Chain A
């Protein structure tokens, strides 16, 4: 079976390529021959007309009754002019003809002389002018004569001419971005057509795509959210996720740009319907569908990053069960359907180019409250006093670089320098602060550049769209850069008189991501992290070096013996140890649609995808990492020479990933209308899908990139290392991991509409997956949904109420589920390859057999109401939904005596509900000025129900990704009740159930005395978008807000051997009596009671003292665009130029918490330096030819 499918695919791939080429060529050959060659005997006149049409492109217009009188034609001509050929054909016919503007009108010869004379006299040549809302001529507007195959395009001065009209026709004028204009001629031959721009906010998107079919929104019962290309164009970021932020109610997108890494984030549609466990393999991410097929790369793995944001025509969010259920079990978290741009038939070639340059404010290293350098040195003193740090000199070795201050203090303790000397040296050290040097030498202004070029157009039977995209993204950390490019070619061909329609598209994208850890390492609290007084450069401008691993005296001694230099400088490291991640994504889609009857068609479609990912980390021989790797593996032999356990040189670690996928789908489509009262839309289909995922990796030692040479090492033979241990290198090649996911699905979706008022819909789907060890019966369950919608405006009662533009209601109910993946009813073993120690091939049982696991099920109900008033100036979409999930998978601790310390259970029920509200209102809609506003508001909450979670069981808080608690939402925050400090500087907490009961030491029931502080996700969130256009200016402002919810203010970290600069540490308790003035516990360690400090800081940092509200409003973006006047543009030979300037991430304009902390950018008290979020400024130029 597998082989056959594969061959079929190869064939389709080849065919597609041919079709692609052929259709492109057809487009190019758009000129028609005017010479006619014909050779026919007794042919019907209709056949003759068709042949001539094919050769000349001329249309024939005739009354069917008239043609009935025609006699068969015999004709033999070669390369004859059209009029002469027509003369020959009509010679013996009871018919006459007239040639009008590439059209042959066939008339009855019997028509009276009078008729024929009037016909000639009544012919009118209409001349017109198309102008825009500002009265300026519009070039390229399309003017079509209704009912006739006749059209004109306005010239650069806005003028057009239509010849030989009767003067009674209707003209329809269209221009992208403008409402079509309909004008009924009443005999005039000089007309002016004034176009009105489409109002963006109120733009009615009437077609939504589910990926399987396009649904007319008026007749949809489900809940959809739509973002158009125009919306996306307002936000000039490379990240599609960032562009989508705030645009659709019910869709929560969080992206964090603090570190300048814009392309990551999470997306969540209507909250969650399952729980993220550490071992559960259930995805909580919405399904990403691109042009009808699921993306082979998930959103989390960068599925959206391979898309050119300018190629996106529309993004449809399928929010409720009726919308999403067509995608089956993959749709449990909603579906995001992306459709890319296609060319339009009968449109001239158009070329669009845009470029965007973005930069940010200068990076700042002092985000959040930080300690001053003298305070930091003081903390180090206290740490030494409290035995948190010990003097490394006697042992010579360090686990991390001993700080300069610590070296001074220990030197005093060893009696090498006096107390006064120590204080003087520390005071001198306190003069330094490296914040500015870090910003100067390790950071840069983040900058992005984007270039996009696209071309589209189409002939009578085909269309094309091509685009190319290139971007670069310099991150805030120096030597960190992301760049990429993509190409996309799509064509549509119409064959067999419109009965067959072929769509093909081919896309390729490449991303290259270079990361260098030097800056982040230097700014962290890791072994190589800098202390605040550690300068990068000496006062004379030379690079400053530090020693790590060993104390300086030992380092010099070892270097003298032949060890490589121990010196470390983050500035040097910027040049080394880069990781380059290259992704290549290739996609090919083919869809062939054949019409069987006017209402029935069949679609066969397929998709092949390939994704290659290569990750290479090269530690150059001079890099600190490579030098230390060699040094750690070096010993000195009896003759005093160094023996290298690992070859001197670099280290190259490479990983390769391959994802290949294919889909094959057969689908019947029904679109049937009876008596304009009954309408049936139905799809019925079947598909197969396979995704194959493979990863492998290896490490090479002694690597030299210049000549690609490396040393072969023996992974199992031990060597003597620097510390006198005898480790071995270990395996140099990683495991080869392969995974094949297969699905076989049947689906159907039908909607019946009566009188354009009432719609009933239903869908069902059956997914069968390759789950190892699961028998057929248990592998799949049918999933379904049903819905109703009612267009109330069409009821007689409301039909005539003028101020009410529209009113409709919707209702859906659906059922989706998830199979218990990762667990099987029988024992499954993992083959682990050969054990490097025993030399034996081996396998393991990673999960116990589970016969009792059931499917996870979610039921969802949705009520929707939509109305608009006052000529659609004010429009509302309101959805209320409830979700009920049962048998949710949850990894619970079990008694480890069974052999496993946790396993999967159908543990909990989850009740969710929410509201999605979209409001739009046009406050001004005049010729010169428009002012549109959109408010998106979402509410979402959930509650867990399960008796088992009344109290925590066992060690769940360490094994689970998400801890759940009966009667509380999944994102709860629990706190201790803070009750001050005691005389030892330790945190006291009060039992929230028993006022006055105070706990001091670790001797308390851990969970019982915490209480609920709130949710960590704001239940209310959304955006306010306002747009003002004045003449050629367009000003857009986006605000984002969140209301409700809590977070814990970062305060202090646990002070072990590492210490951060957390500002609150200054207020720490130091001596008895301090507890009266401060709430920050001390760092003292009482040996007689073990390490109690850890408990104290844990109680403090989990206390209600630090809980703050999340509510805030942010100014997300301001955009000002200007369309350059036509007269200036035409001189450049360009159709239109728009320039725009955008400022993003402008920060909070209101926050409920008194410290004005942004809950989305919490500073981390466990690192030394924090980067503040900074505004981004973009400048964009786009032009079309």
Chain B
């Protein structure tokens, strides 16, 4: 129960900070696709496991100076997110209020590691199919919250899953040992019974 309360409290704190600092982009990948420049990263960087986050996509047309924000792409682009070799999750692309050319796609990453955004569809008349993967020189991986938690360490998301899986493994192992002990016990009792019968 205490852990649940801690989890909810931590979620609220980070969700609040997320709202407060929305729009800041620490490390993003820039890529020119045709005449457009795409900037992709996490909306909230560094991204931490177990907390609400979002794709931060910004598209500008570089044919004009200064570069012009490209609007309306929430209707023509689809975005998928995946980690590792797992099946992708389609994100709902929305235009960011008050920031022309910026788009969101909300998600709560539940595992640490590398994430890949695949952006498909059309930017005006140009077909796009681009993959952006987190990593060095691009945008950040999703990180663990271990080093940030104080004073108590609360297991989060995949960490919790791993611990449950370990616990299940330990339970299975104990069950096997118990079964083996039961068999040995029965055999020993049988042997003892036979010896007693022979002596009598």
Bound pair (A, B): no
Residues of A within 8 A of B (CB): none
